[in-house]
Amino acid sequence: MTVRRVVVDHVLFVVADLNASRGLYTAALAPLGYEELYVQDDCVSYGAEDLDDFTICRGEPVTTAAHVAVSAEGRDAVDAFFAAAVANGATVRGEPGVWTQYSERYYAAFVNDLHQNNVEAVWHAPEPVVDAPRRPGVP
């Protein structure tokens, strides 16, 4: 298994409607093992094990057209992220599958959040994934 070094310490998106974005992100990140760690009047921070790696804050101008990929522990987590995100207001950008332009081990799903940010859940499989839809192209 590849050992990955942390490159980015944290990410913050500015949102227009904190309650709507909170509903989307809280539901979508839960299957990945991330929860609300800090809640303030204008911000919600998500992470695991006391590491708040992703934050949304109400304000202007809102973050648009950004991309963030969140690590998943397996295919089921990617699939659950996708289903929860779409059920809570995200739009489909790329359905779960193996994104072959990255690798035969790159199982991911992509959604657009409420501000058209590209939010991805990705699982780096230890071996090529052979029993999943193939997704050529860039989502």
pLDDT single digits (tens) 106-129? 999 999 999 999 999 999 999 999
Own/partner long-range contacts of 44-47 (Cβ < 8 Å, ≥24 apart): 44/18
Q: What is the mean pLDDT of the chain?
A: 95
Higher local confidence (pLDDT), 32 or 51: 32
Own/partner long-range contacts of 96-100 (Cβ < 8 Å, ≥24 apart): 96/132, 96/133, 97/132, 97/133, 97/134, 97/135, 98/128, 98/129, 98/132, 98/133, 98/134, 98/135, 99/135, 99/139, 100/134, 100/135, 100/136
pLDDT of residue 11: 95
